[in-house]
C-alpha cells in the first residue's frame, strides 16, 4: 500500500515559503487522488494547549479524514500515525510539505530507517533555509530515499 504524506502544511507557516507552494502540494494531492493513493496529513501542534492554533493551511486540498497531530519534528513521533500506517499495511510513503530541513527531513529518514520505501517530491517541499536543505539531500539519497525532481 502506498500513501502520500503531507507534512505540516499549516496556515501558521505559509508566510515563510514561496506563494505557489500550496498550489504545487495540491497538484501532488490531486495526482494521488487520481491514482487512488490515500492522502494522509500530519500537522505539528506544539504544546497541546495551543493545538487549535495549528490548523491546516487555507486552500490546502484536504481529501481524507486521515489527519494526525505530532509534537516533535518527525511524523513518526505521532503514535496514532504510526498505528494507522501499520494497520493500512503501508510500504511506500511519498512525502511533500514543510520544512525540508527539519520535519520533512526527519520524517523521510525515520521512514527509511523503519523499512519503508520513501519518495520525496522536491517540487512540493520547501525549506526556510535552502542551503542547509540542499546539503541534506545527498544524505537522504545515500540513505536510499528516492528524490523525485520533476
Q: Where are the domains of the chain?
A: 2-148
pLDDT at 7: 97
Residue 137: the pLDDT is 85
pLDDT on residue 49: 64
Pairwise CA distance, residues 131 & 126, whole Å: 11
- Give domain 2-148's CATH superfamily: Isochorismatase-like (3.40.50.850)
Within 8 A by CB and 6+ apart from 47, the residues are: 71
Name the 3-class secondary structure at 27.
helix
Strand intervals (E) in the chain: 2-7, 39-44, 67-70, 92-98, 117-126, 146-148
Residue with cell 493500512: 88
Find, among 61, 69, 86, 87, the residue nearest to 8 by Cα: 69
- Cβ neighbourhood burial of 84 (10 Å; 0-12, 13-18, 19+): middle
CA dihedral 85, 95, 97, 56 (to 10 degrees): -30
Considering the entire predicted model, what is its pTM?
0.93
| pLDDT single digits (tens) 26-85 | 999 999 999 999 999 999 987 666 666 789 999 999 999 999 999 899 999 999 999 999
Amino acid at each position: 500500500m502506498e500513501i502520500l504524506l503531507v507534512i505540516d502544511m499549516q496556515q501558521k507557516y505559509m508566510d515563510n515559503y514561496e506563494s505557489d507552494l500550496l498550489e504545487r502540494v495540491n497538484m501532488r494531492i490531486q495526482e494521488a487522488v487520481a491514482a487512488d493513493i490515500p492522502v494522509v496529513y500530519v500537522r505539528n501542534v506544539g504544546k497541546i494547549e495551543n493545538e487549535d492554533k495549528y490548523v491546516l493551511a487555507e486552500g490546502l486540498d484536504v481529501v481524507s479524514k486521515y489527519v494526525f497531530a505530532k509534537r516533535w519534528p518527525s511524523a513518526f513521533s505521532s503514535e496514532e500515525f504510526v498505528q494507522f500506517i501499520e494497520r493500512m499495511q503501508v510500504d511506500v510513503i511519498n512525502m511533500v510539505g514543510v520544512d525540508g530541513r527539519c520535519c520533512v527531513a526527519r520524517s523521510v529518514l525515520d521512514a527509511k530507517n523503519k523499512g519503508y520505501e520513501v519518495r520525496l517530491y522536491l517540487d512540493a517541499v520547501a525549506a526556510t533555509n535552502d542551503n542547509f536543505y540542499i546539503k541534506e539531500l545527498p544524505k537522504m539519497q545515500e540513505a536510499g530515499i528516492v528524490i523525485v525532481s520533476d
